[in-house]
Amino acid sequence: MKTEGGSREAKRRAGERAAEEIDDGDVVGLGTGSTAAHAIRAIGRAVDDGLTVRGIPTSFQSRQLALEVGIPLSCLDAVDGIDIAIDGADQIADDPDASGFGALVKGGGGAQTREKLVDSAADRFVVVADPSKLSETLEQSVPLEVLPDAHALVADEIRRIGGEPTLRDATHKDGPVVTDNGNLLLDCAFGEIDAPDELATRLSSVPGVVEHGLFVGMADAAYVGTDEGVEMREY
Ligand SMILES: O=C[C@H](O)[C@H](O)[C@H](O)COP(=O)(O)O
């Protein structure tokens, strides 16, 4: 599990505010990470109070938490659509004058493949974060989920296009992190990412890459919790 940064209160405010968007009867994408967890707990409390929803988890972690707080679950192939997804981010491009405004780096917890499936299928995708995630330009390493057999080839290709790949190591076992899907993770540093859409297209074209953590043009809004309240961005 990655270390939790940022203020817990700010994350809680963001998660709880986003959960207020949910309507009775909604199918809800349940994001992964410490900020989305606050939204999941708030949805659980609303379910206790009578709200009817079905949750679509984006990871083992979000599934376990949803079960714990009593959210009825479903899966992608059993629903007609997803009304809203609430998910965290590792970095959010926050320059309104730049073309990548609202682009995200995700996958700090290794969940970007399922997150991208669920978040992109949602009619509305809402990001929840604390202010430490905002950055004029994306510069965080981009996590790539890769087929185990392909990790060395993918790493070579990333170096060729100017990135520095690092195989993500597990903290509580010897060897690499293995994702929920049985794959490996390469964290790829590219420095400042001036054109996230171009890099996203390039990464998607590398054989062996299952999914990358650049989410470009996907988010509809972000709730950014602060120590005083919640700021909203619309994209
Ligand atoms: O794989 C993990 C996800 O993309 C998370 O949503 C992301 O890492 C943000 O997590 P947190 O809210 O804990 O910072």
Domain boundaries, the chain: 8-136+216-234, 142-208
* pLDDT for residue 5: 61
Task: Give the Å distance between the CA of 121 and the centre of ligand 1.
Answer: 18
* Level-2 CATH architecture, domain 142-208: 2-Layer Sandwich (3.30)
Cα(175)–Cα(160) distance, rounded to whole angstroms? 25
Nearest ligand 1 atom to alpha carbon 108: 8
Residue with tokens 């330009």: 137
* pLDDT for residue 175: 96
For 97-183, strand residue ranges (E) read 104-105, 122-129, 134-135, 142-146, 164-167
Q: Whose CA is nearest to atom 5 of ligand 1?
A: 33
Whole-model pTM: value is: 0.96
Is there an atom of ligand 1 within 6 Å of 58 CB? no
The set of residues, in sequence order, having a beta carbon less than 8 Å from that of 19 and lying 6+ positions away, is 39, 42, 43, 46, 86
Q: Give the ipTM.
A: 0.99
* pLDDT for residue 227: 87
Q: Whose CA is nearest to atom 2 of ligand 1?
A: 109
Is there an atom of ligand 1 within 6 Å of 106 CB? yes
- Residue 168: both structure tokens together: 């993500």
Kindly name the residue from 4, 16, 20, 115 that is annotated as catalytic. 115
User: pLDDT tens string for the chain (235 positions)?
Assistant: 455 566 999 999 999 999 999 999 999 999 999 999 999 999 999 999 999 999 999 999 999 999 999 999 999 999 999 999 999 999 999 999 998 999 999 999 999 999 999 999 999 999 999 999 999 999 999 999 999 999 999 999 999 999 999 999 999 999 999 999 999 999 999 999 999 999 999 999 999 999 999 999 999 999 999 988 999 999 9
Backbone angles phi, psi at 7, to 5 degrees: -85, 135
* pLDDT for residue 4: 58
Is there an atom of ligand 1 within 6 Å of 87 CB? yes
Cα(163)–Cα(41) distance, rounded to whole angstroms? 37
The set of residues, in sequence order, having a beta carbon less than 8 Å from that of 197 and lying 6+ positions away, is 99, 100, 103, 216, 217
* pLDDT for residue 2: 58
Choosing from 35, 62, 168, 210 the residue with most ligand 1 atoms within 8 A of its CB, the one to mutate for a pocket test is 35
Interhelix angle 34-48/8-19, nearest 10 degrees: 50
- Sign of the dihedral through C-alpha 235, 89, 18, 82: positive
CB atoms within 10 A of CB 114: 24
Residue type, 89: A
* Level-2 CATH architecture, domain 8-136+216-234: 3-Layer(aba) Sandwich (3.40)
Concerning whether 115 is annotated as a catalytic residue, the answer is: yes
* pLDDT for residue 83: 98
- Residue 12: both structure tokens together: 């809680």
Pick the closest to residue 37 from 12, 73, 20, 71 (CA basis).
12
- Residue 69: both structure tokens together: 């707080």
